[in-house]
Amino acid sequence: MMRLIFIAMMVFVQTAFADVLPQPDHIVIVIEENKSFNQIVGNPAAPYINSLLQHGVLFTNSRGITHPSQPNYLALFSGSTHNITNDACLLELSGDNLASNLFTKNFSFVSYSETLPETAYLGCIAGSYARKHNPLSNWLALAKFNQPFVEFPQDFAKLPTVALVVPNLLNDMHDGSIAQGDTWLAQNIGRYAQWALTHNSLLIVTWDEDNGTVDNQIATIFFGAVVNPGKSSQQINHYTVLRTVSDIYGLPLPGLSASEKSISGIWKSSTK
């Protein structure tokens, strides 16, 4: 009997403590465009992205929510597609989202969009910038946190708690090539990624959707000091990522993220 009690206690302890979430000082989420898992993983045209797999976690069962692009961005940012089924330029949305929930807990958030002409810009298109890929822009009360990528701090200790990075249409693999997107990521995020390995920080690289299939399988990579490198076959989607980031900082759970479970089994026991 005592042996059975001891085993039960050990199972309880392992279950209770195996998946304690870290709390990174910074999370940077980069969203790429319209490429399937198999188009990215193992592709020699994406050497930098594939190099991240050596020290990061590759999710082999990660899915977009829907097609086309815009509702996927909204899902990741707010836990809902808001019944949007197209890429039409929006005027205003309301309700909880990752940024507003971070602010309620005295954390910070900034969305950095490449080629955004100026902070708080609300136009639909500006050169290779597209508002459909910038979900924060649809919450007008958050306008000052809608910033050009040139404002991304080069002193990474000054990053907000969570940063959303959106390359422009030429560099996110939407209009440009996979190789072009990979090079942009290496040149613009590579230094931060290396810093994240030795600091309490997390880089998330994901895609909004695949190349239009029903499976909608995408590559998602977690990279930094807080993860154990390897592969994870757990099924995740944009709502799962939002749930995980929300749970990391003890935030309310927006929309359908509340029906997901946080990502487990990848975290280091100590992040300091």
Tell me how far apart the alpha carbons of residues 171 and 185 are, in angstroms, rounded to a whole number.
Answer: 8
Tell me how far apart the alpha carbons of residues 202 and 30 are, in angstroms, rounded to a whole number.
Answer: 11
Which CATH number applies to 2-259? 3.40.720.10
**Model pLDDT, residue 13:** 37
Q: Let me know: does 163 contact 152? Beta carbons within 8 Å.
A: yes
| Averaged pLDDT in 10-residue chunks for the chain of 272 residues | 45 48 98 98 98 97 98 98 95 95 98 98 98 98 98 98 98 98 98 98 98 98 98 98 98 98 90 40
Nearest to 70 by CA among 130, 157, 27: 130
Based on C-alpha coordinates, what's the Rg of the chain? 18
**Model pLDDT, residue 14:** 37
**Model pLDDT, residue 90:** 83
**Model pLDDT, residue 12:** 39
**Model pLDDT, residue 50:** 98
3-class SS letters over the chain: CHHHHHHHHHHHHHHHHCCCCCCCCEEEEEEECCCCHHHHCCCCCCHHHHHHHHCEEEEEEEECCCCCHHHHHHHHHHCCCCCCCCCCCCCCCCCCCHHHHHHHCCCCEEEEECCCCCCCCCCCEECCEEHHHCHHHHCHHHHHHEEEHHHCCCCHHHCCCEEEEECCCCCCCCCCCHHHHHHHHHHHHHHHHHHHHCCCEEEEEEECCCCCCCCCEEEEEEEECCECCEEECCCEEHHHHHHHHHHHCCCCCCHHHHHCCCCCCCECCCCC
**Model pLDDT, residue 170:** 98
Amino acid code (one letter) for 263: I
Please state, as a whole number, how many other Cβ atoms lie within 10 Å of the Cβ of residue 84.
20
**Model pLDDT, residue 270:** 45
Beta-carbon contacts of residue 218 (< 8 Å; ≥ 6 apart): 35, 36, 37, 62, 63, 64, 206, 207, 208, 209, 210
Pairing label, strands 109-113, 146-148? parallel
**Model pLDDT, residue 4:** 44
**Model pLDDT, residue 269:** 73
